[in-house]
Structure 1
Amino acid sequence: MENSDKDKLLKMKEEYNHIPVPESARTGIMAGIEKAKKDQRRIQMMKMSKRTAITGAAAMAAIIIMANASPVTANAMEDIPVLGAIAKVVTFRTFADAKNNYEAKIEIPKVSINEKDNDKVNRSIEEYAGELISEYEKQVGEDLAGDGHYSVTSSYDVVTDNDRYLSLRINTTVIMASGAESVKIFTIDKETGNVVSLKDLMKNKPDYITAISDNIKKQMAEQMAADDSKMYFYKTGEDSLDGFDRITGDESFYFNEKGEIVIAFDEYEVAPGYMGAVEFAIPKDVTGY
Protein backbone atom coordinates (compact mmCIF):
# COMPACT_ATOMS: atom_id res chain seq x y z
CA MET A 1 0.00 0.00 0.00
CA GLU A 2 1.39 3.46 -0.95
CA ASN A 3 2.19 5.78 1.97
CA SER A 4 -0.53 8.25 0.97
CA ASP A 5 -3.16 5.50 0.91
CA LYS A 6 -1.98 4.18 4.24
CA ASP A 7 -2.07 7.69 5.75
CA LYS A 8 -5.65 8.08 4.51
CA LEU A 9 -6.62 4.74 6.02
CA LEU A 10 -5.05 5.62 9.38
CA LYS A 11 -6.76 9.02 9.34
CA MET A 12 -10.13 7.39 8.65
CA LYS A 13 -9.58 4.98 11.54
CA GLU A 14 -8.63 7.81 13.87
CA GLU A 15 -11.75 9.77 12.88
CA TYR A 16 -13.88 6.67 13.34
CA ASN A 17 -12.41 6.07 16.80
CA HIS A 18 -13.49 9.54 17.96
CA ILE A 19 -17.04 9.49 16.60
CA PRO A 20 -19.45 10.17 19.52
CA VAL A 21 -21.95 7.42 20.22
CA PRO A 22 -25.51 8.77 19.98
CA GLU A 23 -28.24 7.44 22.23
CA SER A 24 -29.95 5.73 19.30
CA ALA A 25 -26.85 3.62 18.62
CA ARG A 26 -26.18 2.58 22.23
CA THR A 27 -28.49 -0.44 22.22
CA GLY A 28 -26.93 -1.82 19.07
CA ILE A 29 -23.41 -1.34 20.41
CA MET A 30 -24.17 -3.08 23.70
CA ALA A 31 -25.90 -5.95 21.89
CA GLY A 32 -22.88 -6.38 19.64
CA ILE A 33 -20.50 -6.39 22.59
CA GLU A 34 -22.57 -8.99 24.45
CA LYS A 35 -22.84 -11.18 21.33
CA ALA A 36 -19.07 -11.07 20.81
CA LYS A 37 -18.49 -12.10 24.42
CA LYS A 38 -20.97 -14.98 24.14
CA ASP A 39 -19.36 -16.15 20.90
CA GLN A 40 -15.95 -16.07 22.57
CA ARG A 41 -17.24 -18.14 25.49
CA ARG A 42 -18.87 -20.63 23.08
CA ILE A 43 -15.65 -21.07 21.08
CA GLN A 44 -13.60 -21.56 24.25
CA MET A 45 -16.03 -24.17 25.53
CA MET A 46 -16.05 -26.00 22.17
CA LYS A 47 -12.25 -26.15 22.15
CA MET A 48 -12.09 -27.49 25.69
CA SER A 49 -14.94 -29.93 25.12
CA LYS A 50 -13.12 -31.36 22.09
CA ARG A 51 -10.18 -32.23 24.31
CA THR A 52 -12.45 -34.21 26.62
CA ALA A 53 -12.61 -37.03 24.07
CA ILE A 54 -8.85 -37.63 24.32
CA THR A 55 -8.30 -38.64 27.97
CA GLY A 56 -10.18 -39.18 31.20
CA ALA A 57 -8.51 -36.09 32.63
CA ALA A 58 -9.94 -34.05 29.78
CA ALA A 59 -13.36 -35.49 30.54
CA MET A 60 -13.03 -34.12 34.04
CA ALA A 61 -12.20 -30.72 32.52
CA ALA A 62 -15.57 -30.79 30.76
CA ILE A 63 -17.29 -31.16 34.13
CA ILE A 64 -15.39 -28.15 35.40
CA ILE A 65 -16.45 -26.09 32.38
CA MET A 66 -20.09 -26.99 32.99
CA ALA A 67 -19.75 -26.04 36.64
CA ASN A 68 -18.41 -22.64 35.67
CA ALA A 69 -21.02 -22.05 32.97
CA SER A 70 -23.91 -21.23 35.30
CA PRO A 71 -24.90 -21.31 38.98
CA VAL A 72 -27.77 -23.71 38.17
CA THR A 73 -25.45 -26.28 36.59
CA ALA A 74 -22.91 -25.85 39.34
CA ASN A 75 -25.41 -26.46 42.12
CA ALA A 76 -26.77 -29.55 40.37
CA MET A 77 -23.30 -31.09 40.18
CA GLU A 78 -22.21 -30.57 43.78
CA ASP A 79 -22.79 -34.22 44.73
CA ILE A 80 -20.76 -35.73 41.87
CA PRO A 81 -17.60 -37.41 43.24
CA VAL A 82 -14.43 -35.89 41.77
CA LEU A 83 -10.68 -36.13 42.12
CA GLY A 84 -8.22 -33.24 42.49
CA ALA A 85 -8.81 -29.56 43.18
CA ILE A 86 -12.10 -28.49 41.59
CA ALA A 87 -12.82 -24.80 41.17
CA LYS A 88 -16.27 -23.33 40.81
CA VAL A 89 -17.14 -19.80 39.75
CA VAL A 90 -20.65 -18.44 40.09
CA THR A 91 -22.23 -14.99 40.03
CA PHE A 92 -22.26 -13.82 43.64
CA ARG A 93 -24.34 -10.72 42.90
CA THR A 94 -25.05 -8.25 40.11
CA PHE A 95 -25.04 -4.49 40.44
CA ALA A 96 -27.61 -3.12 38.00
CA ASP A 97 -28.87 0.42 37.61
CA ALA A 98 -30.54 2.57 34.97
CA LYS A 99 -31.61 6.15 35.29
CA ASN A 100 -31.91 8.92 32.73
CA ASN A 101 -28.88 8.57 30.46
CA TYR A 102 -26.88 6.33 32.81
CA GLU A 103 -26.82 2.55 32.87
CA ALA A 104 -24.75 -0.13 34.62
CA LYS A 105 -24.63 -3.90 34.82
CA ILE A 106 -21.69 -5.30 36.79
CA GLU A 107 -21.50 -9.03 37.49
CA ILE A 108 -19.50 -9.92 40.60
CA PRO A 109 -18.30 -13.54 40.62
CA LYS A 110 -17.36 -15.73 43.56
CA VAL A 111 -14.66 -18.41 43.48
CA SER A 112 -14.64 -21.63 45.49
CA ILE A 113 -12.09 -24.45 45.43
CA ASN A 114 -13.10 -27.90 46.62
CA GLU A 115 -16.42 -26.49 47.84
CA LYS A 116 -14.73 -23.88 50.05
CA ASP A 117 -15.09 -20.20 49.28
CA ASN A 118 -11.77 -18.52 48.55
CA ASP A 119 -12.30 -15.51 50.81
CA LYS A 120 -9.03 -13.76 49.97
CA VAL A 121 -9.58 -13.91 46.22
CA ASN A 122 -13.24 -13.02 46.54
CA ARG A 123 -12.37 -9.91 48.54
CA SER A 124 -10.01 -8.82 45.76
CA ILE A 125 -12.72 -9.40 43.17
CA GLU A 126 -15.25 -7.41 45.20
CA GLU A 127 -12.75 -4.58 45.65
CA TYR A 128 -12.23 -4.41 41.90
CA ALA A 129 -16.00 -4.41 41.29
CA GLY A 130 -16.34 -1.75 43.99
CA GLU A 131 -14.02 0.54 42.04
CA LEU A 132 -16.21 0.18 38.95
CA ILE A 133 -19.37 0.85 40.95
CA SER A 134 -17.83 3.88 42.69
CA GLU A 135 -16.83 5.41 39.37
CA TYR A 136 -20.33 4.83 37.99
CA GLU A 137 -21.94 6.41 41.05
CA LYS A 138 -19.60 9.38 40.72
CA GLN A 139 -20.67 9.83 37.11
CA VAL A 140 -24.32 9.72 38.13
CA GLY A 141 -23.95 11.88 41.25
CA GLU A 142 -22.05 14.65 39.48
CA ASP A 143 -23.90 14.17 36.17
CA LEU A 144 -20.57 14.12 34.37
CA ALA A 145 -22.07 12.81 31.13
CA GLY A 146 -24.24 15.91 30.78
CA ASP A 147 -26.36 15.53 27.66
CA GLY A 148 -24.38 12.46 26.61
CA HIS A 149 -24.65 8.86 27.74
CA TYR A 150 -22.60 6.83 30.20
CA SER A 151 -22.80 3.07 30.61
CA VAL A 152 -20.60 0.41 32.17
CA THR A 153 -20.93 -3.33 31.57
CA SER A 154 -18.76 -5.88 33.32
CA SER A 155 -18.94 -9.67 32.92
CA TYR A 156 -16.57 -12.57 33.43
CA ASP A 157 -15.21 -15.73 31.80
CA VAL A 158 -13.14 -18.64 33.04
CA VAL A 159 -10.27 -18.67 30.53
CA THR A 160 -8.01 -21.20 32.27
CA ASP A 161 -8.97 -24.19 34.40
CA ASN A 162 -6.26 -26.83 34.54
CA ASP A 163 -4.78 -29.03 37.26
CA ARG A 164 -2.87 -26.14 38.83
CA TYR A 165 -4.40 -22.81 37.83
CA LEU A 166 -7.74 -21.07 37.48
CA SER A 167 -7.84 -17.81 35.52
CA LEU A 168 -10.91 -15.63 35.86
CA ARG A 169 -11.11 -12.88 33.23
CA ILE A 170 -13.26 -9.82 33.95
CA ASN A 171 -14.17 -7.81 30.84
CA THR A 172 -15.41 -4.27 31.38
CA THR A 173 -16.70 -1.91 28.71
CA VAL A 174 -17.35 1.75 29.42
CA ILE A 175 -19.22 3.79 26.82
CA MET A 176 -19.14 7.58 26.93
CA ALA A 177 -18.36 9.56 23.77
CA SER A 178 -16.77 6.32 22.59
CA GLY A 179 -16.22 2.87 24.04
CA ALA A 180 -13.22 1.59 26.01
CA GLU A 181 -12.61 -2.02 27.04
CA SER A 182 -10.47 -3.03 30.01
CA VAL A 183 -9.36 -6.47 31.13
CA LYS A 184 -8.59 -7.75 34.61
CA ILE A 185 -7.51 -11.36 35.06
CA PHE A 186 -7.25 -13.13 38.40
CA THR A 187 -4.97 -16.17 37.99
CA ILE A 188 -5.31 -18.38 41.06
CA ASP A 189 -2.96 -21.13 42.23
CA LYS A 190 -5.33 -23.93 43.27
CA GLU A 191 -2.75 -25.41 45.64
CA THR A 192 -2.31 -22.24 47.70
CA GLY A 193 -5.55 -20.44 46.89
CA ASN A 194 -3.57 -17.24 46.17
CA VAL A 195 -3.70 -14.94 43.17
CA VAL A 196 -0.45 -15.31 41.24
CA SER A 197 1.10 -12.36 39.43
CA LEU A 198 3.34 -12.70 36.41
CA LYS A 199 6.12 -11.49 38.68
CA ASP A 200 5.41 -14.34 41.11
CA LEU A 201 5.26 -16.91 38.35
CA MET A 202 8.58 -15.89 36.82
CA LYS A 203 10.49 -15.14 40.05
CA ASN A 204 13.15 -17.75 39.27
CA LYS A 205 13.74 -16.41 35.76
CA PRO A 206 15.69 -13.13 36.16
CA ASP A 207 15.66 -12.19 32.46
CA TYR A 208 11.94 -12.74 31.85
CA ILE A 209 11.04 -9.04 31.55
CA THR A 210 13.48 -8.45 28.69
CA ALA A 211 12.70 -11.77 26.98
CA ILE A 212 8.91 -11.33 27.08
CA SER A 213 9.03 -7.62 26.21
CA ASP A 214 11.23 -8.23 23.17
CA ASN A 215 8.92 -11.03 22.01
CA ILE A 216 5.84 -8.82 22.31
CA LYS A 217 7.49 -6.08 20.25
CA LYS A 218 8.55 -8.68 17.70
CA GLN A 219 4.96 -9.91 17.43
CA MET A 220 3.74 -6.32 17.05
CA ALA A 221 6.17 -5.68 14.20
CA GLU A 222 5.31 -8.95 12.45
CA GLN A 223 1.57 -8.34 12.68
CA MET A 224 1.91 -4.81 11.33
CA ALA A 225 4.11 -6.00 8.45
CA ALA A 226 1.62 -8.72 7.53
CA ASP A 227 -1.55 -6.61 7.90
CA ASP A 228 -1.74 -2.87 7.13
CA SER A 229 -4.90 -2.58 9.22
CA LYS A 230 -3.02 -3.37 12.42
CA MET A 231 -1.14 -0.78 14.42
CA TYR A 232 0.72 -0.82 17.74
CA PHE A 233 2.57 1.78 19.77
CA TYR A 234 5.99 0.51 20.81
CA LYS A 235 9.51 1.81 21.21
CA THR A 236 12.18 0.61 18.81
CA GLY A 237 15.02 2.42 20.56
CA GLU A 238 15.90 5.12 23.05
CA ASP A 239 15.13 7.87 20.55
CA SER A 240 11.80 6.46 19.37
CA LEU A 241 8.40 7.90 20.26
CA ASP A 242 6.53 6.95 23.41
CA GLY A 243 4.90 3.54 23.37
CA PHE A 244 5.22 0.07 24.79
CA ASP A 245 8.76 -0.72 25.88
CA ARG A 246 8.81 -3.24 28.72
CA ILE A 247 6.35 -5.21 30.81
CA THR A 248 6.34 -4.63 34.57
CA GLY A 249 5.41 -8.10 35.80
CA ASP A 250 2.01 -6.88 36.98
CA GLU A 251 0.16 -7.44 33.68
CA SER A 252 -2.96 -9.60 33.52
CA PHE A 253 -2.24 -13.06 32.12
CA TYR A 254 -3.65 -16.54 31.70
CA PHE A 255 -2.64 -19.87 30.14
CA ASN A 256 -4.04 -20.89 26.76
CA GLU A 257 -4.79 -24.45 25.59
CA LYS A 258 -1.13 -24.92 24.64
CA GLY A 259 0.02 -23.98 28.12
CA GLU A 260 1.51 -20.70 26.86
CA ILE A 261 1.33 -17.55 28.93
CA VAL A 262 -1.03 -15.01 27.32
CA ILE A 263 -0.58 -11.37 28.33
CA ALA A 264 -3.57 -9.04 27.97
CA PHE A 265 -3.55 -5.27 27.49
CA ASP A 266 -6.43 -2.82 27.86
CA GLU A 267 -7.81 -0.96 24.90
CA TYR A 268 -5.62 2.09 24.11
CA GLU A 269 -2.78 0.75 26.28
CA VAL A 270 -0.50 -0.40 23.44
CA ALA A 271 -2.64 0.26 20.36
CA PRO A 272 -5.24 2.73 19.04
CA GLY A 273 -8.83 2.26 20.10
CA TYR A 274 -10.02 0.49 16.95
CA MET A 275 -7.72 -2.45 17.84
CA GLY A 276 -9.65 -3.06 21.07
CA ALA A 277 -8.12 -4.98 23.97
CA VAL A 278 -5.20 -7.00 22.61
CA GLU A 279 -3.38 -10.15 23.73
CA PHE A 280 -0.05 -11.80 23.01
CA ALA A 281 0.67 -15.52 23.51
CA ILE A 282 4.30 -15.93 24.57
CA PRO A 283 6.02 -19.09 23.27
CA LYS A 284 7.35 -21.48 25.89
CA ASP A 285 10.88 -21.20 24.54
CA VAL A 286 10.75 -17.51 25.46
CA THR A 287 9.30 -17.83 28.96
CA GLY A 288 11.07 -21.08 29.80
CA TYR A 289 7.95 -21.94 31.79
Structure 2
Amino acid sequence: MASIDIPSYLQPCLAATKDSSTVYLVGTPMSPGSALNVNIVSIGDINAPVVKKRFSAANSSIWPPHIPKVCSSYVGNILAEEYSLHIQQVGLNSSWDTIFYAANETFRATLSFQGRSFSKQSFSYIGQAGPMAWVLAVSYNTDNVIPYSSWTNIPTFGDFTTTDPLLTVGTYTVSPAPPGPGSLIVFDKAGTAMIFPTLSVATIPTTDTWTTLLAPQSVNMNGIKLTAAALYANMGSGAYILDRADNGSVLTYYIDPTISNDLKRISTPNGNTPRFTSIMTATSA
Protein backbone atom coordinates (compact mmCIF):
# COMPACT_ATOMS: atom_id res chain seq x y z
CA MET A 1 0.00 0.00 0.00
CA ALA A 2 1.32 3.43 -0.91
CA SER A 3 2.23 5.77 1.94
CA ILE A 4 -0.06 8.67 2.86
CA ASP A 5 1.01 12.15 3.96
CA ILE A 6 0.82 12.91 7.68
CA PRO A 7 -2.48 14.73 8.32
CA SER A 8 -2.89 17.83 10.48
CA TYR A 9 -5.66 17.69 13.09
CA LEU A 10 -6.98 20.42 15.37
CA GLN A 11 -7.37 18.04 18.37
CA PRO A 12 -5.22 14.94 17.78
CA CYS A 13 -4.08 12.18 20.11
CA LEU A 14 -1.30 9.58 19.86
CA ALA A 15 -0.98 6.06 21.25
CA ALA A 16 1.50 3.21 21.04
CA THR A 17 1.15 0.20 18.76
CA LYS A 18 2.70 -3.18 19.48
CA ASP A 19 5.29 -2.45 16.79
CA SER A 20 7.75 0.09 18.21
CA SER A 21 8.33 1.48 14.71
CA THR A 22 4.73 2.73 14.40
CA VAL A 23 2.21 4.76 16.43
CA TYR A 24 -1.52 5.46 16.25
CA LEU A 25 -2.45 9.03 15.27
CA VAL A 26 -6.13 9.87 15.85
CA GLY A 27 -8.12 12.93 14.81
CA THR A 28 -10.91 14.36 12.69
CA PRO A 29 -10.08 16.39 9.56
CA MET A 30 -11.32 19.96 9.35
CA SER A 31 -13.24 19.44 6.10
CA PRO A 32 -17.06 19.33 6.54
CA GLY A 33 -18.57 15.89 7.12
CA SER A 34 -15.23 14.25 7.91
CA ALA A 35 -15.14 11.10 10.02
CA LEU A 36 -12.83 10.22 12.91
CA ASN A 37 -9.56 8.84 11.51
CA VAL A 38 -7.14 6.31 12.98
CA ASN A 39 -3.77 6.44 11.22
CA ILE A 40 -0.96 3.94 11.64
CA VAL A 41 2.16 6.07 11.28
CA SER A 42 5.60 4.67 10.56
CA ILE A 43 8.33 6.36 12.61
CA GLY A 44 11.16 4.11 11.43
CA ASP A 45 12.72 7.33 10.16
CA ILE A 46 11.68 9.80 12.85
CA ASN A 47 12.54 12.70 10.55
CA ALA A 48 10.29 11.41 7.76
CA PRO A 49 7.18 9.75 9.26
CA VAL A 50 4.55 8.41 6.87
CA VAL A 51 1.03 7.00 7.27
CA LYS A 52 0.96 3.29 6.38
CA LYS A 53 -2.80 2.81 6.80
CA ARG A 54 -5.84 4.96 7.59
CA PHE A 55 -9.23 3.86 8.94
CA SER A 56 -12.40 5.93 9.37
CA ALA A 57 -15.16 5.52 11.94
CA ALA A 58 -18.85 5.87 11.17
CA ASN A 59 -21.08 8.58 12.73
CA SER A 60 -18.94 11.48 11.54
CA SER A 61 -21.25 14.05 13.16
CA ILE A 62 -20.34 13.01 16.72
CA TRP A 63 -16.57 13.39 16.28
CA PRO A 64 -16.14 17.10 15.45
CA PRO A 65 -12.55 18.23 14.77
CA HIS A 66 -12.48 20.92 17.50
CA ILE A 67 -13.40 18.62 20.44
CA PRO A 68 -10.37 17.24 22.38
CA LYS A 69 -9.68 13.51 22.29
CA VAL A 70 -7.68 11.16 24.51
CA CYS A 71 -6.48 7.74 23.39
CA SER A 72 -4.55 4.82 24.84
CA SER A 73 -3.66 1.34 23.63
CA TYR A 74 -4.55 -1.79 25.59
CA VAL A 75 -0.88 -2.53 26.30
CA GLY A 76 -1.77 -4.98 29.08
CA ASN A 77 -3.05 -7.38 26.42
CA ILE A 78 0.50 -8.49 25.73
CA LEU A 79 -0.55 -11.82 24.21
CA ALA A 80 -2.56 -10.13 21.46
CA GLU A 81 -1.08 -9.87 17.98
CA GLU A 82 -1.96 -6.16 17.86
CA TYR A 83 -2.95 -3.63 20.55
CA SER A 84 -6.52 -2.36 20.33
CA LEU A 85 -7.05 1.36 20.89
CA HIS A 86 -9.45 3.20 23.21
CA ILE A 87 -10.56 6.65 21.99
CA GLN A 88 -12.39 9.04 24.33
CA GLN A 89 -13.81 12.42 23.37
CA VAL A 90 -13.55 14.87 26.28
CA GLY A 91 -15.46 17.98 25.29
CA LEU A 92 -18.33 19.59 27.18
CA ASN A 93 -21.51 17.54 26.58
CA SER A 94 -19.58 15.38 24.13
CA SER A 95 -18.30 12.31 25.96
CA TRP A 96 -18.42 9.74 23.15
CA ASP A 97 -15.97 6.86 23.13
CA THR A 98 -15.10 3.92 20.90
CA ILE A 99 -12.52 1.15 20.53
CA PHE A 100 -10.53 0.47 17.38
CA TYR A 101 -9.90 -3.28 17.14
CA ALA A 102 -6.57 -3.55 15.35
CA ALA A 103 -6.81 -7.30 14.73
CA ASN A 104 -9.75 -6.96 12.33
CA GLU A 105 -9.48 -3.21 11.67
CA THR A 106 -13.00 -2.36 12.89
CA PHE A 107 -14.54 0.11 15.35
CA ARG A 108 -16.82 -0.75 18.27
CA ALA A 109 -20.16 1.06 18.27
CA THR A 110 -19.83 4.49 19.91
CA LEU A 111 -21.04 4.98 23.49
CA SER A 112 -21.65 8.15 25.49
CA PHE A 113 -21.45 8.99 29.20
CA GLN A 114 -24.82 10.71 29.38
CA GLY A 115 -24.84 13.92 31.42
CA ARG A 116 -21.07 13.82 32.00
CA SER A 117 -18.21 15.76 30.51
CA PHE A 118 -14.48 15.20 30.92
CA SER A 119 -11.31 17.26 30.63
CA LYS A 120 -8.23 16.27 28.63
CA GLN A 121 -6.06 17.50 31.53
CA SER A 122 -7.74 15.18 34.05
CA PHE A 123 -8.43 11.92 32.23
CA SER A 124 -5.78 9.38 33.28
CA TYR A 125 -5.18 5.69 32.54
CA ILE A 126 -4.07 4.09 35.83
CA GLY A 127 -4.38 0.36 35.04
CA GLN A 128 -3.51 -1.90 32.09
CA ALA A 129 -4.09 -5.62 32.67
CA GLY A 130 -5.04 -8.16 30.04
CA PRO A 131 -7.71 -6.85 27.64
CA MET A 132 -8.88 -4.18 30.10
CA ALA A 133 -7.85 -0.67 31.10
CA TRP A 134 -8.75 1.50 34.11
CA VAL A 135 -9.24 5.26 34.04
CA LEU A 136 -9.66 7.94 36.70
CA ALA A 137 -11.15 11.24 35.55
CA VAL A 138 -12.74 14.39 36.87
CA SER A 139 -16.41 14.22 35.89
CA TYR A 140 -18.32 17.41 35.18
CA ASN A 141 -22.04 16.91 35.75
CA THR A 142 -23.94 18.63 32.94
CA ASP A 143 -27.40 17.41 33.96
CA ASN A 144 -27.75 20.13 36.58
CA VAL A 145 -28.28 23.82 35.92
CA ILE A 146 -25.10 24.58 37.87
CA PRO A 147 -22.31 22.19 36.80
CA TYR A 148 -19.99 20.79 39.42
CA SER A 149 -16.87 18.66 39.33
CA SER A 150 -16.42 15.47 41.31
CA TRP A 151 -14.19 12.48 41.77
CA THR A 152 -16.96 9.88 41.82
CA ASN A 153 -16.82 7.08 44.43
CA ILE A 154 -13.25 7.86 45.47
CA PRO A 155 -13.33 8.88 49.16
CA THR A 156 -9.52 9.08 49.31
CA PHE A 157 -9.73 12.45 47.59
CA GLY A 158 -11.04 13.89 50.82
CA ASP A 159 -7.33 14.05 51.71
CA PHE A 160 -6.51 16.26 48.73
CA THR A 161 -7.20 19.96 48.80
CA THR A 162 -8.15 20.66 45.18
CA THR A 163 -11.28 19.77 43.22
CA ASP A 164 -9.91 21.63 40.21
CA PRO A 165 -6.56 20.03 39.34
CA LEU A 166 -4.16 21.54 36.84
CA LEU A 167 -3.15 18.15 35.44
CA THR A 168 -3.53 14.49 36.39
CA VAL A 169 -1.09 11.82 35.25
CA GLY A 170 -1.64 8.07 35.36
CA THR A 171 0.96 5.31 35.65
CA TYR A 172 0.45 1.55 35.67
CA THR A 173 2.07 -1.87 35.78
CA VAL A 174 1.58 -3.70 32.49
CA SER A 175 0.35 -7.22 33.20
CA PRO A 176 -1.33 -10.02 31.20
CA ALA A 177 -3.77 -10.47 34.10
CA PRO A 178 -4.85 -8.52 37.23
CA PRO A 179 -3.86 -7.26 39.68
CA GLY A 180 -2.09 -4.40 37.96
CA PRO A 181 -1.20 -1.65 40.45
CA GLY A 182 -0.48 1.87 39.31
CA SER A 183 -0.87 5.44 40.52
CA LEU A 184 -2.65 8.71 39.92
CA ILE A 185 -0.52 11.85 40.21
CA VAL A 186 -2.46 15.09 40.75
CA PHE A 187 -0.75 18.43 40.07
CA ASP A 188 -2.47 21.56 41.35
CA LYS A 189 -2.28 25.21 40.34
CA ALA A 190 -0.22 26.14 43.41
CA GLY A 191 2.79 24.16 42.16
CA THR A 192 2.38 21.09 44.40
CA ALA A 193 1.40 17.50 43.61
CA MET A 194 0.32 14.27 45.29
CA ILE A 195 0.72 10.61 44.26
CA PHE A 196 -2.22 8.28 44.96
CA PRO A 197 -1.05 4.65 44.60
CA THR A 198 -3.66 2.15 43.42
CA LEU A 199 -4.12 -1.04 45.42
CA SER A 200 -5.09 -3.26 42.51
CA VAL A 201 -7.51 -3.61 39.65
CA ALA A 202 -10.44 -5.92 39.15
CA THR A 203 -10.42 -9.61 38.38
CA ILE A 204 -11.25 -10.50 34.79
CA PRO A 205 -13.95 -11.23 33.69
CA THR A 206 -16.04 -9.98 36.60
CA THR A 207 -18.16 -6.84 36.49
CA ASP A 208 -16.15 -5.29 39.34
CA THR A 209 -14.38 -2.49 37.52
CA TRP A 210 -13.38 -0.30 40.47
CA THR A 211 -9.91 0.35 41.77
CA THR A 212 -8.85 1.50 45.24
CA LEU A 213 -6.56 4.43 45.97
CA LEU A 214 -4.18 4.34 48.93
CA ALA A 215 -3.04 7.21 51.14
CA PRO A 216 -1.42 9.99 49.08
CA GLN A 217 2.27 10.87 49.08
CA SER A 218 3.81 14.24 48.25
CA VAL A 219 5.74 14.80 45.02
CA ASN A 220 9.15 16.45 45.29
CA MET A 221 8.67 19.14 42.64
CA ASN A 222 12.33 20.28 42.65
CA GLY A 223 11.22 23.87 42.11
CA ILE A 224 9.15 22.98 39.03
CA LYS A 225 5.77 24.64 38.53
CA LEU A 226 3.72 23.40 35.60
CA THR A 227 1.69 25.73 33.41
CA ALA A 228 -1.87 25.26 32.21
CA ALA A 229 -0.45 24.13 28.84
CA ALA A 230 1.20 20.98 30.27
CA LEU A 231 0.35 17.56 28.82
CA TYR A 232 1.59 14.07 29.56
CA ALA A 233 2.50 10.78 27.89
CA ASN A 234 2.42 7.73 30.16
CA MET A 235 4.59 4.72 29.52
CA GLY A 236 3.82 2.13 32.17
CA SER A 237 5.28 2.81 35.60
CA GLY A 238 6.61 6.22 34.57
CA ALA A 239 5.31 9.23 32.69
CA TYR A 240 6.68 12.15 30.71
CA ILE A 241 5.22 15.64 31.01
CA LEU A 242 5.67 18.24 28.28
CA ASP A 243 5.26 21.93 29.08
CA ARG A 244 5.81 25.33 27.48
CA ALA A 245 9.00 27.20 28.41
CA ASP A 246 9.11 30.99 28.70
CA ASN A 247 10.76 31.15 25.26
CA GLY A 248 8.05 28.98 23.69
CA SER A 249 10.10 25.79 23.43
CA VAL A 250 9.24 22.41 24.99
CA LEU A 251 10.29 21.46 28.52
CA THR A 252 10.32 17.74 29.32
CA TYR A 253 9.87 16.24 32.79
CA TYR A 254 9.75 12.64 34.04
CA ILE A 255 8.39 10.86 37.11
CA ASP A 256 8.30 7.17 38.06
CA PRO A 257 6.65 6.59 41.46
CA THR A 258 8.02 3.03 41.61
CA ILE A 259 11.52 4.53 41.83
CA SER A 260 11.04 7.87 43.61
CA ASN A 261 8.58 10.70 44.18
CA ASP A 262 10.83 13.18 42.35
CA LEU A 263 9.67 15.14 39.32
CA LYS A 264 12.82 15.59 37.22
CA ARG A 265 13.61 17.71 34.19
CA ILE A 266 14.99 15.80 31.21
CA SER A 267 17.79 17.57 29.38
CA THR A 268 17.65 17.67 25.59
CA PRO A 269 20.98 17.15 23.77
CA ASN A 270 22.23 20.37 22.18
CA GLY A 271 19.05 22.11 23.32
CA ASN A 272 17.33 20.79 20.19
CA THR A 273 13.66 21.08 21.17
CA PRO A 274 10.64 21.92 19.02
CA ARG A 275 8.33 24.85 19.61
CA PHE A 276 5.41 24.13 21.93
CA THR A 277 2.05 24.39 20.16
CA SER A 278 -1.56 24.21 21.32
CA ILE A 279 -2.21 21.17 19.11
CA MET A 280 0.78 19.19 20.37
CA THR A 281 0.21 15.60 21.46
CA ALA A 282 2.56 12.87 22.67
CA THR A 283 2.92 9.18 23.37
CA SER A 284 5.65 6.79 24.49
CA ALA A 285 6.14 3.05 24.26
Q: TM-score scaled by structure 1?
A: 0.28
Which has the larger share of strand?
A: 2
Q: TM-score scaled by structure 2?
A: 0.28
Which has the larger share of helix?
A: 1
